[in-house]
């Protein structure tokens, strides 16, 4: 998580196999599998800043990366002939006609199933066209036939509602039809050493002539939502521990503005807008109980992991620093366990989006290590 001696080679010491990356974003998932010993040969990402970020870090983090293809995979999901094909991607990664990757990884955009979006009728009803991007992954899986795969997504995809349940059942059916045995589970990044409570769905599988990987057991434990204590032998890494030795300059956009920004200094660390409710005993309540989303005016507690960091927070949506300001980019990197010298390309809002959409590399590494063990 920290790089006290400057730039470091962030790849694994022993190369295990080749990988193809879909919906790569800024490379969090790829950085994790590299640290486990896999080598990303080709990545596909439509966002220009995120693709530039992967390319900028290639020398230190992705030494086998031949190309970052900037393409929309929706045509592949929809079964159309236009757009990039599976063979285009494989050729760009240096795979011959009969070669197959050792690992396929990807995190299709999760807007349709995000827990934070279920207040929208069109998301609850399952009418979001982005949902079909899951089919881009399964279609690539069917055609490319890698030895193993790792799919990451929001854990709300497993919810039993009109949007999530049919989509998850369809996903499982398509993986099975592609010829793969698989398992899945919801893993909280904090349980694997990341200083952020970030639950994510992981689906891992193998061709039926291979051993199916087992998801890794937790390495850390601590409270999370209604859970008081569970997990591995080590305590959760706290936000205070992660940021303790980090000295960074102020940023121009770190002041919390908006209609309610002035209230933030009164909120205790770890609390949110509920502090200003009658149920909490506030003498002059401002908000009704549970009238806002939980991250509204949410402040970090230095003694606990950070709550989930969002990609596109509103003006009064946290988590904010306990010093009553927005988190700075180096702090965001620490809370995701990105290396300090990992460089992001783009304006501040774009960088926030790239980091907020990323898979914490430390979590990805441990899942990829479990896949490597199955090999």
Q: Annotated catalytic sites, by residue?
A: 110
Helix 28-35, helix 361-374: angle, nearest 10: 50
**Which residues, other chains included, contact 222 with Cβ-Cβ below 8 Å and sequence gap of 6+?**
190, 191, 229, 231, 235, 236, 304, 305
List the beta bridge partners of residue 33: none
Helix 48-56, helix 348-356: angle, nearest 10: 80
Give dist(CA 92, CA 100) in Å, integer. 13
13, burial (CB in 10 Å: exposed 0-12, middle 13-18, buried 19+): exposed
Give dist(CA 357, CA 43) in Å, integer. 16
Cα–Cα separations (whole angstroms), residue 236 to 71, 218, 310: 38, 10, 20
């Amino acid at each position: 998580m920290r790089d006290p001696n400057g730039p470091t080679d962030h790849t694994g010491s022993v190369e295990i196999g080749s990988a193809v990356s879909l919906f790569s974003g800024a490379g969090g998932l790829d950085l994790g599998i590299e640290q486990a010993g896999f080598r990303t040969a080709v990545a596909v990402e439509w966002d220009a800043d995120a693709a530039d970020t992967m390319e900028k870090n290639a020398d230190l983090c992705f030494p086998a990366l031949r190309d970052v293809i900037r393409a929309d995979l929706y045509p592949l999901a929809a079964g159309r002939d236009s757009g990039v094909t599976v063979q285009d991607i494989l050729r760009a990664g240096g795979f011959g006609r009969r070669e197959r990757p050792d690992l396929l990884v990807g995190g299709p955009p999760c807007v349709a199933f995000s827990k934070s979006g279920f207040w929208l009728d069109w998301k609850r009803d399952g009418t979001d066209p982005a949902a079909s991007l899951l089919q881009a992954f399964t279609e690539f899986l069917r055609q490319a036939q890698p030895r193993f795969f790792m799919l990451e997504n929001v854990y709300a995809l497993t919810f039993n509602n009109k949007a999530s349940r049919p989509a998850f059942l369809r996903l499982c059916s398509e993986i099975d039809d592609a010829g793969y045995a698989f398992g899945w589970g919801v893993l909280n990044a904090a349980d694997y050493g990341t200083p952020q409570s970030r639950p994510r769905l992981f689906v891992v599988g193998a061709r039926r002539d291979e051993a199916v990987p087992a998801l890794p057991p937790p390495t850390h434990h601590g409270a999370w939502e209604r859970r008081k204590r569970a997990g591995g032998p080590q305590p959760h890494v706290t936000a205070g521990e992660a940021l303790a030795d980090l000295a960074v300059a102020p940023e121009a956009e770190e002041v919390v503005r908006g209609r309610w920004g002035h209230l933030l200094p009164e909120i205790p660390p770890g609390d949110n807008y509920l502090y200003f409710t009658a149920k909490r005993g506030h003498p002059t309540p401002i908000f009704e109980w549970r009238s806002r989303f939980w991250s509204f005016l949410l402040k970090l507690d230095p003694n606990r992991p950070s709550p989930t960091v969002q990609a596109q927070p509103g003006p009064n949506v946290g988590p904010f620093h306990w010093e009553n300001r927005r988190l700075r980019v180096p702090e965001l990197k620490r809370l995701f366990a990105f290396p300090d010298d990992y460089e992001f390309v783009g304006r501040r809002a774009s960088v926030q989006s790239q980091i907020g959409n990323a898979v914490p590399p430390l979590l990805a590494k441990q899942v990829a290590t479990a896949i490597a063990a199955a090999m």
